[in-house]
């Protein structure tokens, strides 16, 4: 399995490599979400899911994958693995 020197430029990664990078972050983060700090293989905590999300801001199918590869939309650099809902919160509330 390929190991990357993180962070990497998200926009330059082919789709299949994004999966590999996401899995590397999951492992390096000990299966914890970079945003809420909770287990990525469980639902995000209520303090996250109680936030109102404007789903019209997000592409169709945004929640189809429960774990996302978070990246900074200004620099393009990956930041870590996050619950899909946490990713939506970061995007909508923090501009990430």
Q: Which domain holds residue 79?
A: 1-42+64-96
Asked if the structure places residue 18 within a domain, the reply is yes
Work out the burial of residue 30: count CB atoms within 10 Å of its CB; fewer than 13 is exposed, 13-18 middle, 19 or more buried.
exposed
Asked if the structure places residue 49 within a domain, the reply is no
What is the domain count for the chain? 1
Written as tens digits, the pLDDT of the chain (96 aa) is 678 999 999 999 998 999 999 999 999 999 999 999 999 999 999 999 999 999 998 899 999 999 999 999 889 999 999 999 999 999 999 876
């Amino acid at each position: 399995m390929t190991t990357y020197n993180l962070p990497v430029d998200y926009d330059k990664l082919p789709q299949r490599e994004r999966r590999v990078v996401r899995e590397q972050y999951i492992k390096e983060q000990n299966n914890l979400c970079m945003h809420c700090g909770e287990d990525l293989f469980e639902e995000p905590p209520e303090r996250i899911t109680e936030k109102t999300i404007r789903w019209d801001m997000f592409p169709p199918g945004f929640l189809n994958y429960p774990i996302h590869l978070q990246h900074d939309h200004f620099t393009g650099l990956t930041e870590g693995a996050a619950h899909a809902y946490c990713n939506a919160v970061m995007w909508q509330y923090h501009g990430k």
